[in-house]
Structure formats: structure tokens, C-alpha cells
Amino acid sequence: MAGPLLLICLFFLTTAVQAELVVNVDPANRRVKSNIEAFIGPVTAESRRDMWRLARHSIDQAETAAQAVGYYDVDIKPDVTGTDSEPNLVLNVTLGEPVRWRNIDIDITGAGEDARFFKLPESDKLKPGAVLSHDVYESVKSLITNQALRYGYFSGEFTEQQLLVDVDENVADIKLSYNTGERFRLGEVIFSDTPFSENLLQRMVTFETGVPYDSDLLASLNRDLLATGYFENVLVLAPAEQAADGVIPVMANLNARSPHSLGFGGGYSTDVGARVRVNWTQHWLNEHGHSRGADMELSMPRQMVSAYYQIPLTPPQTSNFRFFAGLQKEDIEDVESLNLSIGGLYTKLFANGWERGIGLRVEEERFTLGNDSGSSTLLIPSIAFNRTVSDGGLDPAKGYSLQFDVQGAKEGLISEFDFLRVTASANGLYTLWDNHRFLSRASVGTTVVDDFSQMPPSLRFFAGGDQSVRGYDFRGLSPTDETGDLIGAKHLVAGSLEYQYEFIEDWRSAVFVDHGNAINSFSDPLETSLGVGVRWVSPIGPVRLDLAKSITDPDEGFRIHFALGPEF
């Protein structure tokens, strides 16, 4: 009986009602009604006489469907209605008392008898007194079997499996005994032919040879190999039939990606106007997995070119060292600068999702701030932590990001002066009921330096723009000199709250409030702006159009901000 009853239970989720079949259940029971309708399916006949001939078979099917959900005491009276050319079959089902679970005896023996993953989750559907359900019985067996396969008990088997129904007493007992057998282990990882050295490939394996089998370890290795950026396709298998003495060899079939890629991009925002970006990457250039690349970005106020050379560490998918060099020229508001930087960065991604970067760079910057000009040479050690969690995609529904960065310099060690700069930021996103979207953003930064006039513009704080206080132009908030030119600040405080409502698919309206400023003292006043906007989730990312107005400075006019790119 278990085989056909399992089929019934699989059909139970389908509730399509056929026009030719009418099922009346007394007392009303939606579960019984749906299961009968799903199991019998369409009932068609050319005449009322033919429909009566089908009735006997339909009664048998209805009884079996009712038993599958615990009702063995049923009385089914058929009737045929409708015209002779369009007859309908009516089943009037009267339910007696359901069969209920009495004894539930599930016994796990063998090497895995004490393993936590064979512990069945508590369920009200599998307790003494609950109504019998054949799909619950089959689900328990499937769960035990699936757990055995997931954790490497490939020789496990049921030594006893019984569902005993006493229809006179309306009770049912379960008796299951499962012998897990021995747990298999993972052997050496064998890689297919690739351009990479065996040493590099083995460093990507995060488990030891001989560990107990766990399919999650294989899935993790599959993801890690893809994350390196070296491979176009990855397939990791551990075929149990190739096991020897309980050890299964792990086969990693890899197809290396094309080593070179060239990318072009662009965008527009009211902060920097139109911009064009070109990047070239050589994803691997030798058997050790070294890589390199170059990037160029051009806009009217900013031009940048950079290059890097990267060496994978251990494990290569989460740890690397990068040498870099970059040249950037800016001419924004009252600030002009030319910055050359050369250095190295050690990056590591931890299992908890945090990424840490430890860097050391030399920066040479020449600049003009208002009517003053200067230059600086600094050797800057730094450490940064960041973590981003979201449900992914170009337009995530929820998530958060955290960033923390500390950098500084010591006079005499190449550097011309001492300074310490600390920044922290947090962003949050949450969506309620599909079309109510809430975003928040907060940033704070501070600088400790004896003579602030020595600080180059790249290390000063500015506020304003489409990612800051939107009632002001990009970098339009900061202290000024005696001529009124913006010269940057020692500290930054900025925050934003935004609500969006999706009124049409992929289109959202927005209202927001921004608060903050770039200041030289935390007692200095902060600015506040209010605004409204429109969001379009385009195929290449969100497009944002905002209209904002300062409410703390009446002399400031309306500001329009347009941007293409992720909000989060």
C-alpha cells in the first residue's frame, strides 16, 4: 500500500478541481476533499450511463485517497448529475473518526546511531494522537535516507519498515529500524588537467584527506574553485562506487577560463557627470595563479589610471597579496590635486564573512585648495574591515554593509608629518510586503593631525552629493577659507533615511531625509535636506533621480541628482 499512497501524497499538493467531478465531504475536511480530487483527476464520459460505470472505480480511488490522510472509516455514495451529453460525477463522502498515531518507534543503529543529523525534527504531525498521514510516514523514511547519503553512510539500509493500521481501534503504529553502516571518508582530491600547478590546486582544498564524508564540503570546494576566477566550469564529485576501504576519491573536473578579458563601462551622475571606464584583466599568467590588470576611468572632474599585480596566498580563494600603482587627477569645486600612489595590500576573507585588508602605500600628492597650494609625501600603513550581506542581484530586497578603516603616517618615516584618520560606515536595506522599501545610511570620520593645512585633499572630508547630503552639490559642504573656497574638514558626520514605494513593477517613488556635514569640530552645526525621487530598476542596474532641498539653509536652492548604479 505504501507505494501508491506515496503517489497520492505527492499529488496532494495539487488542488486543481475538475469541472466533471464534484466531491462533497461531511463533516467538511479540505484535506480529504483535495486529496480525492487530485487522485481521481479528470472524470469524463460520453453519457450518464458511462459515468455510472466509472463511479465504482472512482469510489475505490476516493477510499484510497481518504486513507492516505488518515480516514479509513468512510462512506461514499456516488451520484450522476448534468445532462446526458455533459454528465458530472458527484461523490458524497461521509467521514468517520480518523486513525491516529499510537506508537512511533524509530530506531537508528550502526556507526551513526548517536550522530546528531539522524535526530528527527519535532513535528506535531508525528506525535501520538495526531491524525495518521501516509506522506508523513514516507517523509520520515526519506529524511533518514537523505541524511545518510548527505553524510556518507552509503551502506545504510532499513532493516524494518512497517506502518500498522488497526481500523477497529482507529490507531496506527510506526516501526522503523535503520542500520547506518560505516561512514565513508573523503580521499585525496584529484584534479583534471589545468594550466595550474598541483601545489596551487591543493592549497584550494580546505578539508583534510580522510575526513568523514559531508556533501557540504564538496559543495564548498566547488564554490571556492569558482571564486578564484581561474575557471569557467567546475564540477566536484565523490562517486561512492569508486570507494576503497571506505575512502572515496574526490574528482574535480575543471575548465580554465580564457586568461584575458577586456571590459568597457560608463555612467552618468550629477556628481561627476559622464564617465567612461576601461579595464583589462589577465586572470592568470602562470601556473602559480598570479594575475594582473589595469583600470582607467575618465570624467570631466576626475581622471584615473591604475594597475596591479596579484599573488594568491593560502587558501588562494580567500587570501591574496596585491602590488598596485595609481595616478589620479581631480578638479572638483575649489580643489585641484594630482595623486600618485604605490603600495601593497594583503587581503583575507574570513569564514564569518568579514574581509580584512592590511596595506602599506606611498602617496605623493600635489594640490591646490582655494588660494593655497602645497604637496605632501606620506608612507601610509592602513587596516580596513568590511562585510556585506544581502540576498544578491542588481536589486537586492534586504541586506546590510559595514566598513571600518584606519590609516595614518609617522613623521620621519618617509612621511612629512604625523596623522591618524579613522572612518566607519553602515548601510541597511529592508523590504516589507514586497513593495515597501527602507534604506538607511550612516558615516562618521575623524582626523588627528597637528597642522591640518598639511593634509592633502584626498585625506580631507567633504559632504554633499547623491551619496551624502542631497540638498547640496557634490562635495559642496565643508569649511571654507577666508575667500569662501571649500577646503575640506577634519571630521565627517552624515546619515540618511529613505522610504521607497513600488507603484509599478520596477518603478519606485522615494522620499528621504539627509543630515550631516564635513566639519572641523563636532560642535559645528549639521545640515539637513529633504527630498523626493524616482527609481527605475533597469536591466543594468537601478537608475535614480532625486530632487532635494536644504531645510537648514533657506538660501540653498533645489538640487537635482541623477545616478546610475547600485543603491546598496
Question: CA–CA separation, 309 vs 321, rounded Å?
Answer: 8
Residue 10 has pLDDT above 60, yes or no: no
Residues 266 and 210 in one domain: no
List, for residues 319-347, the tens digit of each pLDDT value: 999 999 999 999 988 889 999 999 999 99
Provide the percentage of residues in the chain whose pLDDT is more than 90: 79
Phi-psi map region of 318: left, alpha, beta (phi>0 left; psi -120 to 50 alpha): alpha
Cell of 37: 480530487
Read out DSSP for 430-471? EEETTTEEEEEEEEEEEEE-S-GGGS-GGGSB-B-STTS-TT
Residues 231 and 309 in one domain: no
Paired with 411 in beta bridges are: 415
What pLDDT was estimated at residue 119? 87
8-state DSSP, 172: E
Q: Are 219 and 206 in contact (CB under 8 A)?
A: no
What pLDDT was estimated at residue 69? 94
**Which helix H or strand E contains 396, and what residues bound it?**
none
How many residues would you count in the chain?
A: 568
Residues 239 and 267 in one domain: no
Residues 174 and 204 in one domain: no
Residues 22 and 148 in one domain: no
pLDDT band at 25 (very low <50, low <70, confident <90, very high): very high
Query: Could you give phi then psi for residue 90, rounded to 5 degrees?
Result: -115, 125
Residues 373 and 225 in one domain: no
Torsion of CA 515, 520, 525, 528, to 10 degrees: -20
Read out DSSP for 461-524? B-B-STTS-TTS-TT-BS-B-TTS-B--BSEEEEEEEEEEEEEETTEEEEEEEEEEEEESSTTS
Residues 6+ apart with CB under 8 A from 330: 301, 302, 336, 337, 339, 457
Residue 565 has pLDDT above 80, yes or no: no
Q: What is the mean pLDDT of the chain?
A: 91
Domain tally, the chain: 4
Residue 214 has pLDDT above 60, yes or no: yes
List, for residues 409-423, the tens digit of each pLDDT value: 999 999 999 999 999
List, for residues 108-135, the tens digit of each pLDDT value: 999 999 888 888 888 888 999 999 999 9
Cell of 91: 461523490
Give the pLDDT mean for 397-403: 95
List, for residues 62-88, the tens digit of each pLDDT value: 999 999 999 999 999 999 998 888 899
Residue 13 has pLDDT above 50, yes or no: no
Residues 162 and 308 in one domain: no
Cell of 94: 461521509
Q: Which of 256, 272, 302 is the last residue of a domain?
A: 256
What pLDDT was estimated at residue 9? 44
Residues 116 and 74 in one domain: no
What pLDDT was estimated at residue 5? 44
List, for residues 135-166, the tens digit of each pLDDT value: 999 999 999 999 999 999 999 999 999 999 99
What pLDDT was estimated at residue 4? 43
β-pair type (559-564, 436-448): unpaired
What residue has cell string 602617496? 363
Residue 359 has pLDDT above 70, yes or no: yes
Residues 376 and 488 in one domain: yes
What's the pTM value of the predicted model, to 2 decimals?
0.78
User: E strands within 6-71?
Assistant: 21-26
What pLDDT was estimated at residue 120? 84
pLDDT band at 3 (very low <50, low <70, confident <90, very high): very low
What pLDDT was estimated at residue 216? 95
Q: Which of 95, 115, 142 is the last residue of a domain?
A: 95
CA torsion sign for 103, 104, 109, 115 is negative
8-state DSSP, 244: B
> Which ranges in 351-414 belong to alpha helices (H)?
none
What pLDDT was estimated at residue 112? 92
Cell of 420: 591618524
Residue 265 has pLDDT above 90, yes or no: no
Amino acid at 167: V
What pLDDT was estimated at residue 551? 94
List, for residues 497-551, the tens digit of each pLDDT value: 999 999 999 999 999 999 999 999 999 999 999 999 999 998 878 899 999 999 9
> 541: domain CATH number?
2.40.160.50
Question: CA–CA separation, 506 vs 16, rounded Å?
Answer: 32
- State whether residue 194 is helix, strand or coil: coil
Strand order from edge to edge, sheet including 157-166 = 100-109, 171-179, 157-166
Give the pLDDT mean for 225-250: 94
Residue 95 has pLDDT above 60, yes or no: yes
Residues 6+ apart with CB under 8 A from 112: 118, 148, 151, 153, 156, 180, 183
Residues 104 and 144 in one domain: yes
Residues 174 and 271 in one domain: no
What are 431-434's contacts with CB under 8 Å, separation 24+?
431/397, 431/398, 434/502
Question: CA–CA separation, 240 vs 154, rounded Å?
Answer: 7
**Cα 491 from chain centroid (whole Å):** 34
Question: CA–CA separation, 34 vs 37, rounded Å?
Answer: 5
CA torsion sign for 375, 493, 564, 551 is negative
Q: Which of 138, 161, 179 is the last residue of a domain?
A: 179
Question: CA–CA separation, 73 vs 99, rounded Å?
Answer: 8
Q: Which domain holds residue 436?
A: 260-564
CA angle, 231 then 234 then 238, to 5°: 145
Q: Give me the helix-helix angle, 30-40 and 48-68, nearest 10°.
A: 130
Residues 360 and 435 in one domain: yes
Write the CA distances from 130 to 113, 114, 140, 173, 395, integer angstroms.
26, 27, 15, 12, 44
> What percent of the chain is helix, strand and coil (3-state, nearest 5)?
15, 50, 35
Paired with 75 in beta bridges are: 94
What pLDDT was estimated at residue 270? 76
Amino acid at 545: L
> 158: domain CATH number?
3.10.20.310
What pLDDT was estimated at residue 497? 97
